[in-house]
Amino acid sequence: QVQLVESGGGLVQAGGSLRLSCVASGRTFESWAMGWFRQAPGKEREFVAAISWSGDSTYYTDSVKGRFTIARDNAENTVYLQMNILKPEDTAIYYCAARVFTSEGPPGEEFDYWGQGTQVTVSS
């Protein structure tokens, strides 16, 4: 059974930064593509960023390019989302997700495992 546990959410003023972390259980973390998604109140869940199993390839939704950075530490079974220049529209519950995917190409949005989410609130 795979478990994903997010942390690092909180309340921050617009223009500030937060770093989200997601620790994964399981022995084959290095075979997983990892992603971050978010869901704002009244909206559907949306893709934010993804990283390949090796960490060599990253993907972002347009609205966060240049502000967010996804990274991973396979030795620590952890994926990070560094969020800078936060905006009120970034307010959402952020979810970590994993899927077995050893290609360097985009992993899509069909992930197999999900965390419980962490709340990010950006005040104006």
Q: Give residue 30's pLDDT band: very low, low, confident or very high (50, 70, 90).
A: confident
pLDDT at 109: 86
The first and second tokens of residue 2, run together, are 């795979």
DSSP tag of 15: T
Q: What is the per-residue pLDDT for 26?
A: 77
Residue (of 72, 68, 57) closest to 94 by Cα position: 68
| Neighbour count for residue 53 (Cβ, 10 Å) | 22
Q: Write down the pLDDT at residue 33.
A: 95
Q: Among 100, 104, 117, 1, which residue's Cα sits nearest to residue 48?
A: 117
pLDDT > 90 fraction of the chain, expressed in percent and rounded: 85
Bridge partners of 5?
23
Closest CA to 36 of 100, 84, 83, 104: 83
Residue 14: which pLDDT band, with cuts at 50, 70 and 90? Answer: very high
Count of CB atoms within 10 A of residue 52's CB? 20
Contact 13, 120 (CB under 8 A): no
pLDDT in tens, 43-74: 999 999 999 999 999 999 999 999 999 999 99
